[in-house]
Amino acid sequence: MCGRLTQYRGIHDFVDTLSMPVVWRNNVGNQTLGRYNVAPSTPVAILRMDDAGPRADLVRWGWRPHWATDRAAPINARVEKVAHGPFFRAIWPHRAVTPIDGWYEWVDEGGAKKQPYYIRRRDGRPALCASIGQFSGGEHDGFVIITADAQGGMVDVHDRRPVVLSPELARAWITAVMPGDYAEQMALNLGEPAEVFEWYRVSTAVGNVRNQGADLITPLDRTAL
């Protein structure tokens, strides 16, 4: 996962996908987000639970522990290592869902520039990405998206993909009190398969983070793979 995503729907659309008949604390706002080119280190809408119930927040995309000052804050965490390595140990119990409309990857196809692709669910629904983070309300808050090996034809676009959960599993991911090893197995084995997604070439304009707008996700050709 190369590190750009889209969140252009409103938070209510994302919450509706979870089908949780409860009152959410909405710290994001009611307007459509309208973000077609979301870059790392910027605030991203996430869904999570705390002691008072479900909430939607804007949290910085990227996190590192306080002792890792010699490196940039990662934006993703490999599912194969996230539950056991020391780097993410402090935030592994703090789960969230990052609802996205899609994400971008860049492929070397022999041209002067790498070719960007846009990836989204075939059914048009938001993708609910398994995430973890620090949500203390302080300056060091942040989150990472858990990634796994790509599958099927998606391997031709990138070797990694976000772990996208079904609505049922996403609800369990943020609401259930589960042992860490059960959460690990969910992330390792129960992410949505490649057949759930489609991907297609888009304009190289997405490479400039200042560019926004629905034209960035318009296919360059008529056929999605």
The 10s digit of each residue's pLDDT in 49-101 is 999 999 999 999 999 999 999 989 999 999 999 999 999 999 999 999 999 99
- Catalytic annotation present for 105: yes
> Given 2, 129, 184, 192, which residue is catalytic?
2
- Catalytic annotation present for 129: no
pLDDT, mean over the chain: 94
Residues of the chain with pLDDT > 90: what percent?
Answer: 87
pLDDT of residue 221: 75
Domains, the chain: 5-217 (3.90.1680.10)
3 state SS for the chain: CCCCEEECCEHHHHHHHHCCCCCCEECCCCCECCEEEECCCCEEEEEEEECCEEEEEEEEECCCCCCCCCCCCCCEEECCCCCCCCCCCCCCCCEEEEEECEEEEEECCCCCCCEEEEEEECCCCCEEEEEEEECCCCCCCEEEEEEEECCHHHHHCCCEEECEECHHHHHHHHHCCCCHHHHHHHHHHCCCCHHHEEEEECCHHHHCCCCCCHHHHCCCCCCCC
pLDDT at 224 over 50: no
Summarize pLDDT for 2-21 with one digit per residue, the tens. 799 999 999 999 999 999 98
pLDDT: which is higher, 221 or 107:
107
> Given 80, 105, 129, 139, which residue is catalytic?
105
